[in-house]
Structure 1
């Protein structure tokens, strides 16, 4: 069930200078995927931000704090309010900053999602590869803030020597709270907390509506990643487990292992489990390969499933699900795509 969180309380906490910043387990690595698990509780792993003690100006009046402290999975970072020349490696954060109207200076251009293609122009610096930051170029940019996720976690210390660096990946085992906390942290850093709260309230309504409908629907779901002809299944708590954990779709197999790359499965497995809903993310479409998901998914074995017979095979947009999940644009798009299975 969707975990309720209280925006009013969050607003008070933010005003007191204490806001959580969600974390995630490492994202996929060698193939562009790294995801993992973390045994700490949400409270232990949540990131927080706190403003400096309020100062007084020459007239003795309080002035707004100029810095906040953000606690995240990789450490604690003092961040200036409204930093300039921001470098962003986490595309979910880029998605959110784009929504808030916050400009950035650089990013890894090799895997920019199509809906954020404006950042692939010469107006923005190429900060290196998604797993190999260009430290020299980043240092020359003199950024006020660097935002990273799992693929860059190994470079955290070196990037922190260049500029304040925060880890902003979504915790897949606590997706909603982590996503909301990340957005609220960015909202506080850039003075857009009210806009963030409005967006989150709207998205939460959509998630709750989907969860209510999906949890009462007949049939169970299977979430699969298609990778150049190979298939991996993902259950609750995994990288794509939000479909079960927050969106309310029951699992067709409660024993799917939670692992870095998902559980490798065959099409005989899909036929045997016979899901009512089959959600497919096509990794090949975003990282390259010879075989698309649709070429292999709809075969003589899957055609015997209820999902195929009832037209309930849903091809999820891999840009939102694989590249830039956890953004104020991508999450509502993910909700809408999952909802398509119930139409």
Structure 2
């Protein structure tokens, strides 16, 4: 082979390699651009107030409800931040958030510091839609795209909507199925242990006493439906979450078991009302009191401590007290 042909062959090979490299570089750049476009894309979702455009893949999510944050963690999409009100939170939740890398933003109950939230630079805000004021939603939406989930805090209504936002529907179904299985087991244990004996949830406040109605939502549903507890006959049709009562009405209910909530409420002290209750002769005459079947119940555990983690802890506590 002549030197001229050899040189020509080498030149052709070099050109081929250069063209291949250029094509590969173009493909890499195109793929990177497509990935970047996907990461920075948006989607439209429906919430309590209508439609809202949110990031396809948010990087700095702020959740306004610690209950919702628990739902998201258990679905495998822990938020970066959550509003945290220490005095109403159950004991397990702060360590739980720390373990899952969620930054707790301490705040006062029912109040938002909009300047503080703005300084956190969230790219998505998620909160409970039911009960949220339109003005609050508007202020939050000025900070970042805000999704007010069209649900309350109850697990079986809120979790599916949250799952749809974060593309975790299948995972949420698995979480709920696991919870249902645990609840069924607890319900069967309680039924076997106490049968149709009655259970009353009594709330003690600074100036009054209230009892939980068995046909209300949220925690009423947890105690009287999920766990299958039986309420006293006198209030069996009550749809009120908590109804005021006088102590003189307790003998008409005369429950076999009583869970007493010493309600946690800012600037309220229930010491005197709790003392009046325990010193009252009516109280001493109740079947549950005589049989030492009165158990404490923390506000934080059943009002804020709900979720795949908290509700199981509460469930276990109720089973421990009733199944002996």
TM-score where L is the length of structure 2? 0.69
Cα shift readout 1:40-77 (whole Å, capped 9, x = no counterpart): xxxxxxxxxxxxxxxxx89x9xx899655544444343
Equivalenced residue count is 276
Query: Closer, same or farther in 2 for the Cα pair 1:160/1:250, shift >3 Å?
Result: same
- Give the greater-gyration-radius structure (CA): 2
- After superposition, the Cα gap between the structure-2 partners of 1:131 and 1:204, relative to the gap in structure 1 and judged at 3 Å, is same
Equivalent in the alignment of 1:224: 202
1:276 is aligned to 256
- Give the counterpart of 2:66 among 91, 98, 103: 91
Q: Distance in 2 between matches of 1:65 and 1:209?
A: 45
For the 8 Å contact 2:43–2:53, the answer to whether it is kept is: yes
Unpaired segments ≥5 residues, structure 2: 1-30
Partner Cα distance (2:218, 2:52) in 1: 26
How far, CA to CA, are the matches of 2:118 and 2:58 in structure 1? 15
Indicate the residue corresponding to 2:283 in structure 1.
302
Structure 1: runs of 5+ lacking an equivalent = 1-56
Find 2:230's aligned residue among 242, 250, 254.
250
Residues 342 and 70 of structure 1: CA distance in aligned 2, closer, same or farther (over 3 Å): farther
Residues 107 and 128 of structure 1 are in contact (CA less than 8 Å); yes or no, is this contact kept in structure 2? yes
Of the three residues 217, 237, 248, the one matched with 2:216 is 237
Q: Which has the higher contact order (CA 8 A, sep 6+)?
A: 1
Greater helix share, structure number: 2
Report SS of the residue matched to 2:196: coil
CA contact (8 A) 1:82 1:189 kept: no
Q: 1:73 to 1:111 in 2, by over 3 A?
A: farther
**What is the correspondence of 1:1-343 to structure 2 with a 5 Å cutoff?**
69-99=44-74, 100=76, 102-109=78-85, 111=87, 113=89, 114-118=91-95, 124=103, 126=105, 128-149=107-128, 152-154=132-134, 155-168=136-149, 171=152, 175=154, 179-190=155-166, 195-214=171-190, 217-228=195-206, 230-235=208-213, 236-242=215-221, 243-252=223-232, 253-258=235-240, 262-284=242-264, 287=266, 289-292=268-271, 295=275, 297-299=277-279, 300-325=281-306, 327-343=307-323
Question: So what's the TM-score if we normalise by structure 1?
Answer: 0.66
Q: Secondary structure at the match of 1:200?
A: helix
On the 8 A contact 2:42/2:56 being kept in 1, the answer is: yes
What CA deviation, in whole Å up to 9, does each residue of 1:278-323 have, x standing for no partner? 2233223x64532258645544322322222333323223222123
